[in-house]
Amino acid sequence: MNGFIKQMINQKLNHLTPEQLLQLAKQYDLSITPRQAEQITAILRRHQINIADDRQRKQILQEISAEVDPAIAKKIQALFQQFL
């Protein structure tokens, strides 16, 4: 993936709001509740996201799986793979 595109994705993930996440989820046919969007964005805020860092992505997905829903974590993982 192009470095510029990675930087744009990282920027978006690092500043994502629950409302924006709900819009993105709808766009990518991912069903999440407003509460889950809040939980996921709270997890994302704990990290300085680097989409290219495999270890970090796995850690974030594990946190989403444990704190939100394993099925949602798997769907998010599939979305990450589309952008890599």
User: Per residue in 11-34, pLDDT tens?
Assistant: 998 999 999 999 999 998 899 999
Whether the predicted model's global pTM rises above the 0.85 cut: yes
pLDDT in the model for residue 67: 97
Give CA–CA dist 37/24, Å, rounded: 10
Q: Return all residues near 56 (Cβ < 8 A) that are at least 6 apart.
A: 47, 49, 50
Give CA–CA dist 10/14, Å, rounded: 6
User: Per residue in 35-78, pLDDT tens?
Assistant: 999 999 999 999 998 988 999 999 999 999 999 999 999 998 88
